[in-house]
Amino acid sequence: MKALVWHGKKDIRCESVPDPRIEDGRDVIIKVSSCAICGSDLHLYDGFVPGMKSGDIMGHEFMGEVMEVGRDNKKLKVGDRIVVPFTIICGECDQCKRGNFSVCERTNRNKDLAEKAFGRTTAGLFGYTHLTGGYPGGQAEYVRVPFADAGPVKVPSSLSDEQVLFLTDIFPTGWQAAVQCDIEPTDTVAIWGAGPVGQMAIRSAILLGAKQVIAIDNVPERLSMARAGGAITINFDEESVVERIDELTDRKGPEKCIDAVGMEAHASRSIDSMVDRAKQAVMLESDRPHVLREMMYLCRPAGVLSVPGVYGGLVDKLPFGAAMNKGLTIRMGQTHVNRYIHDLLRMIEEGKIDPSFVITHTVPLDKGPDMYKAFRDKEDGCIKVVLKT
């Protein structure tokens, strides 16, 4: 089959690889109909996530039709059309029972690696580092879905692939980012990053009743899409984030802040982000926490910082004193997709939201490598890429 394969930094190729096979009774094999490229894939593409190996198959946002079912899987049958959450869950462990799906205790088959890196294991993830199990991903014609009687969700034929595909990741991710904010009707929610996750977070914050939503980025078309979703926008290349946020919040700061940028935050006009870039280059720190710093500084006391943006290792010079003394709450994590996926599917069915608004490019799978570059460099108005097999 054809798949997008990681070979190193900025080196992803469309190649022929062996078809996947059932390995466990709970598995299914699906034929992928649509898959997408995520901002998290860019961290792998840019070589910032440790534990990748040449030959790894990329992709964790995918859906398709069940072709083959393992003998112990009583949930799915051949022909079912399913979306597959990017966090692999067993559905039975203590964490899964509490709904903490992204830290499922059983699905990471490289627990020892994860424990070395993070102290304790987290869930297995598709198409990601070997620290999270190294499971072959969904930017491919076929995928083996392990624990397939727990995670995947059937979707109705009345909805198109484009409408339901993002239930696998970015829609629940933006939603969880907003839910973690415990939004009240008087709240201002400031969202750093107007990429696909930021866009979903903007709509989620509106749907959850935020009074005012502010989006911060420096890519004009992303800011235009943010305004379409109801956000007031700040272009950090053109205006001072601090001054504008002060203006919009009576100098008190937003009650809730969301980091939808993660470890590759761009240098804005501040010196600290330049120092981070240099340190990261010489491996003195692995992540650039520019957005985290800005949020800790600007957030209103007793506020919440919600962090869907991915970090991989160590950060430097966090104003933790500001965060502590202001009594901020910090909530973060890979998304517990299965907590929200049914509710969100219902919202799509009811027509309250159609997540396909974010798609700017639809191309065949073998154009994938070019699209990684276009998405990363924001070429050609690119915000979200869907690949068709």
Partner 1 sequence: MSHHLTGSHHGNHMDPQSLATGLGWFSIALGVAELVSPGSVTRTLGLRGTEPVVRAFGMREIVTGVGLLSARNPAPWLWARVAGDMLDIASAATAMNRHNPHRNAAGVAIASLIGVTLVDVMAARAAQAANHERSSHVYDYSDRSGMPRSPSMMRGAALDDDLTDVDHPFRDDRRGQSTERPGTAGWGAEVTAGA
In the complex, minimum distance from the CB of residue 351 to ligand NAD, in angstroms, rounded to a whole number? 24
Comparing C-alpha atoms, which of 299, 310, 364, 369 is closest to residue 335?
Answer: 310
The verdict on 169 binding Zn ion (CB under 5 A) reads yes
The verdict on 40 binding Zn ion (CB under 5 A) reads yes
Task: Tell me the HSE value of 133 on the side-chain side, using a 13 A CA sphere.
Answer: 26
Cα angle 98-101-107, degrees, rounded to a multiple of 5: 120
In the complex, minimum distance from the CB of residue 224 to partner 1, in angstroms, rounded to a whole number? 5
Bridge partners of 145?
28
In the complex, minimum distance from the CB of residue 94 to Zn ion, in angstroms, rounded to a whole number? 8
Interface with partner 1 by CB under 8 A: which range of 29-37, 77-85, 295-303, 375-383?
Answer: 375-383
Comparing C-alpha atoms, which of 309, 318, 311, 316 is closest to residue 282?
Answer: 316
The verdict on 358 binding partner 1 (CB under 8 A) reads yes
Partner in contact with 304, chosen from ligand NAD, partner 1, Zn ion, none, beta carbon below 5 to 8 Å by kind? none
The verdict on 210 binding partner 1 (CB under 8 A) reads yes
Partner in contact with 216, chosen from partner 1, ligand NAD, Zn ion, none, beta carbon below 5 to 8 Å by kind? ligand NAD
Alpha-carbon distances of 90 from 37, 77, 96, 154, rounded to whole Å? 25, 19, 7, 17
Partner in contact with 98, chosen from ligand NAD, Zn ion, partner 1, none, beta carbon below 5 to 8 Å by kind? partner 1
The verdict on 13 binding partner 1 (CB under 8 A) reads no
Max CA pair span of the chain: 61
Interface with partner 1 by CB under 8 A: which range of 49-57, 77-85, 115-123, 216-224?
Answer: 216-224
122-141 footprint of partner 1 as x/- string (CB under 8 A): --------------------
Nearer to ligand NAD, 112 or 237 (CB): 237
Comparing C-alpha atoms, which of 246, 248, 238 is closest to residue 211?
Answer: 248
The verdict on 241 binding partner 1 (CB under 8 A) reads no
Nearer to Zn ion, 106 or 222 (CB): 106
Nearer to ligand NAD, 69 or 387 (CB): 387
Phi/psi-derived region of residue 219, left when phi > 0, alpha when psi is between -120 and 50, beta in every other case: beta
State the residues that interact with ligand NAD by CB under 6 A. 38-40, 42-43, 169-170, 173, 192-198, 216-219, 222, 236, 260-262, 265-266, 268, 290-291, 308-310, 334-335
In the complex, minimum distance from the CB of residue 108 to partner 1, in angstroms, rounded to a whole number? 20
Interface with partner 1 by CB under 8 A: which range of 134-142, 242-250, 274-282, 291-299?
Answer: 274-282
In the complex, minimum distance from the CB of residue 378 to ligand NAD, in angstroms, rounded to a whole number? 7
Quick check: 122 and 100 in contact, CB under 8 A?
no
Nearer to partner 1, 95 or 129 (CB): 95
Candidate list 84, 131, 179, 291; residue touching partner 1; CB under 8 A: 179
Candidate list 51, 319, 333, 381; residue touching partner 1; CB under 8 A: 381
**Contacts to Zn ion by CB under 5 A:** 38, 40, 90, 93, 96, 104, 106, 169
**Contacts to partner 1 by CB under 8 A:** 91, 96-99, 162, 179-185, 199, 203-204, 206-210, 218, 220-222, 224-225, 227-230, 266-267, 273-275, 277-278, 281, 336, 338-340, 342-343, 346-347, 351-363, 367, 370-371, 374, 377, 379-381, 383, 386
